[in-house]
Amino acid sequence: MGAHTMETMTEAQAAELLRDHERKELLRFVTVGSVDDGKSTLIGRLLHDTDGVYEDQLAAVRKASRMEGSEIDFSLITDGLKAEREQGITIDVAYRYFTTARRKFIIADTPGHVQYTRNMATGASTADVAIILLDARLGVLPQSRRHAWITSMLGIRHLAVAVNKMDLVDYEQATYARHEAEFRAFADDLDFEAVTFFPISAVKGDNVVEPGGRTPWYEGPSILEFLETVPIPRREEGSFRFPVQTVLRPNLNYRGFAGQVASGVVREGAKVVALPQRTEAVVAGIDLYGETIAEARAPLSVTLRLDREVDVSRGDMIVPADDVPEVRRQFDAMVVWLSEKAHDPNKTYLLKHTSRFVRARIPKVSWSLDMNTLAQAEVEHLSLNDIGRVRVESHQPLYTDPYRVNRRTGAFIVIDSMTNNTVGAGMILERGAERSLEDDAAATGARREVSPAERRELLGHGGAVVWLTGLPASGKSTIAFALERGLFDRGTLAHVLDPDDFAAPDGSATPTSPSPEAVAQMARAVADAGGIAIVSFVSPDADERDAARAIVGAKRFVEVHVATAEKVCRTRDARGLWDGVAAGTLAGVPGVDAPYVDPPSPALTVDTAGQRRDEIVRALCDLLAQRGVLAQG
């Protein structure tokens, strides 16, 4: 801050001063360190040396310092709450502010204690830059690696490593160089654009605000110089994303969609689509508090008007017509667990993603990070301060970008719907092997407001297709109806699709009359509705069965081979197929005069000659339970 006083400042100088202050940039950074690394002292020093501490606050600190018997303790400038001051430890994220001629700074001051990973994640979530502190006497600790890892995961690309307490190692260059080499060895594998090192003494002030001093061998900038020049990520560079917060409709002539540009730029006249409706429209105007502007870039809060009536409400997203985000119900994410109550894979949570709340489950944890080795460990669920890769299944589709690409549309929080607490913080990963047909359905049928998960909750089971294939007269229909009865009796919605139902109008019972695709489409509709379609269909061709599997979706397609021996089928031939072929009145009957290809790997093979009907039904129910369609037991 300037040393001007009112007396010495001309009006022109005052105007210039104001202009400078009104044009400053904003940089948010997070400070991370283990207990006693001197983090509070570093921040106190930064605030003090940039005139960020007032006389009366300093007087209070001097008073408190005396009570603790030391000289002036800079850490007391920042240690806030009474409880933690008594414990002598910082327990929560605190935000500090200071300003220089070039930039205004927001510091998220996070505690480094082992069990407070969640606070670090909180502080890092809004930061552009991180400063990690090392104690020069101790060097790289397990926590240091952990801190770097979390910082990188939360999307921070510029890392500063302050090797503090250099005064206690006699400002030895070799010590500093050793720590730097050790840190770089593992930081190189992380996702940083740049890692910069500083030899400092927060207590003495070396290389904090002014460079040089007692480290003549160090030619780099001070911490403050770094903070004043480090590039700030430009959020206007990404794809345009506009989550609608609220709809403004003061009168019949005005309908505006209010929100903050999450990323990218939008211009008047741009072609956009509103998700999930996918209605195309053109941006008719961008209103910024009563002014109309030609373009809006992130992170401005604006109001968009569209050229036509579009049904858009809070939680929807306006995006460019040619650059839409992914529409996903299932995705993999990195999640930091924030609650003492462990994650429950069977529970339905609330997620907040952009301006949208959805219900979702986190059924699977692929791995969790072992905090000591940074190796991937197998776990069933996440506990407090765990970080893990999980699968998320949302009841409603979300419009997402990977977190690495977009920190706004890639982030979500997890809320316990019983306690209303925020229990998790998630970062969506690139789409990988988890792509599912359900996602495709979500992408094309995003209008649907009832999700598969909601149907499952209503019915108590999932949708599926049981596809019974086998020779004519092998007993498929008998099993189908027995299974339908059995499922119905246990409260399951099931429905048999029998090709006899679609027999040709002339009454001929040719078993090949409907196309396998048509049958598969119908079966899929039943499964989509949440029911279990039981298809009794010869379907002799393996390729056609595979096509049916693709239409339904492999996950919910249960192929059952009714492998009753041909000679048994022949004796049961009520429709006279074998006789007909023999007499020359019928042709192309699979298994008789046309090929029937056995399924190479059916989910189940049954034999109606050797097994009782109720045994087969029980086996099928067990199979459906194993597949997760029916509840276990």
Partner 1 sequence: MPFPPNRTVTDVSELITGERLSHLRELEAESIHIIREVAAEFEHPVMLYSIGKDSSVMLRLALKAFHPAPLPFPLMHIDTTWKFREMITFRDRMAEEYGLTMHVQTNEEARQAGVTPFSEGSNRYTKIMKTQALLQGLARHRFDAAFGGARRDEEKSRAKERVYSFRDRFGQWDPKHQRPELWNLYNGQLGPGESIRAFPLSNWTELDVWLYIHLENIPIVPLYFAKERPIVERDGSWIMVDDDRLPLEQGEEPVMRMCRFRTLGCYPLTGAMPSTATTVPEIIAEMLTTRFSERQSRVIDHDAEGSMELKKREGYF
Q: Could you tell me the smallest distance in angstroms from the CB atom of residue 60 to partner 1?
A: 8
The nearer residue to partner 1, 263 or 539, going by C-beta atoms, is: 263
Contact between 252 and partner 1 by CB under 8 A: the answer reads: no
Q: Could you tell me the smallest distance in angstroms from the CB atom of residue 14 to partner 1?
A: 5
Contact between 5 and partner 1 by CB under 8 A: the answer reads: yes
Task: Classify the phi-psi angles of 588: left when phi > 0, otherwise alpha if psi is within -120 to 50, otherwise beta.
Answer: left
Q: CA 173, 176, 178 angle in degrees (round to 5)? A: 110
Could you give the CA distance from residue 452 to residue 438 in angstroms, rounded to a whole number?
A: 9
Q: Could you tell me the smallest distance in angstroms from the CB atom of residue 291 to partner 1?
A: 5
> 206-209: long-range contacts at Cβ-Cβ below 8 A with a sequence spacing of 24 or more?
206/166, 206/167, 206/171, 208/42, 208/45, 208/46, 208/49, 209/45, 209/46, 209/49, 209/50
Kindly indicate which of the ranges 244-252, 271-279, 485-493, 595-603 contains the residues binding partner 1, using the contact rule CB under 8 A: 244-252
Q: Could you tell me the smallest distance in angstroms from the CB atom of residue 425 to partner 1?
A: 5
- Kindly tell me which residue out of 69, 216, 250, 584 binds partner 1, with binding defined by CB under 8 A: 250
The nearer residue to partner 1, 66 or 485, going by C-beta atoms, is: 66
The site map against partner 1 for 407-446 (x = CB under 8 A) is xx--xxx-x-x--xxx--x---------------------
Could you give the CA distance from residue 328 to residue 251 in angstroms, rounded to a whole number?
A: 35
- Kindly tell me which residue out of 70, 87, 229, 301 binds partner 1, with binding defined by CB under 8 A: 301
Could you give the CA distance from residue 211 to residue 215 in angstroms, rounded to a whole number?
A: 9
The nearer residue to partner 1, 183 or 403, going by C-beta atoms, is: 403
Q: Could you tell me the smallest distance in angstroms from the CB atom of residue 386 to partner 1?
A: 14
Place of tokens 């579009």: 310
Q: Half-sphere exposure (CA, 13 Å, Cβ side) for 389?
A: 14
- Kindly tell me which residue out of 23, 308, 567, 612 binds partner 1, with binding defined by CB under 8 A: 23
Q: Which of residues 81-140 bind partner 1 (CB under 8 A)?
A: 81-83, 85, 91-97, 99, 103-104, 106, 109, 118-119, 121-122, 125-126
Look at residue 552 and give its three-state secondary structure: helix
Secondary structure of 511-540 in the HEC alphabet?
A: CCCCCHHHHHHHHHHHHHCCCEEEEECCCC
Q: Could you tell me the smallest distance in angstroms from the CB atom of residue 456 to partner 1?
A: 23
- Kindly tell me which residue out of 269, 299, 588, 610 binds partner 1, with binding defined by CB under 8 A: 299
Supply the DSSP string of 43-75, one letter for each residue. Answer: HHHHHHHTT-S-HHHHHHHHHHHHHTTSS--GG
Q: Could you tell me the smallest distance in angstroms from the CB atom of residue 146 to partner 1?
A: 18
The nearer residue to partner 1, 4 or 184, going by C-beta atoms, is: 4
Are the CB atoms for 43 and 109 separated by under 8 Å?
Answer: yes
The nearer residue to partner 1, 74 or 197, going by C-beta atoms, is: 74
The nearer residue to partner 1, 390 or 592, going by C-beta atoms, is: 390
Could you give the CA distance from residue 369 to residue 531 in angstroms, rounded to a whole number?
A: 39
Q: Which of residues 257-286 bind partner 1 (CB under 8 A)?
A: 258-260
The nearer residue to partner 1, 172 or 268, going by C-beta atoms, is: 268
* Nearest CA among 244, 304, 308 for reference residue 280: 308
Look at residue 382 and give its three-state secondary structure: coil
Contact between 405 and partner 1 by CB under 8 A: the answer reads: no
Could you give the CA distance from residue 304 to residue 294 in angstroms, rounded to a whole number?
A: 11
The site map against partner 1 for 24-43 (x = CB under 8 A) is xxx-----------------
Are the CB atoms for 336 and 121 separated by under 8 Å?
Answer: yes
Cis peptide, bond prior to residue 111, ω within 30 of zero: no
Q: Which of residues 325-384 bind partner 1 (CB under 8 A)?
A: 338, 350, 352-353, 355
Q: Could you tell me the smallest distance in angstroms from the CB atom of residue 350 to partner 1?
A: 7
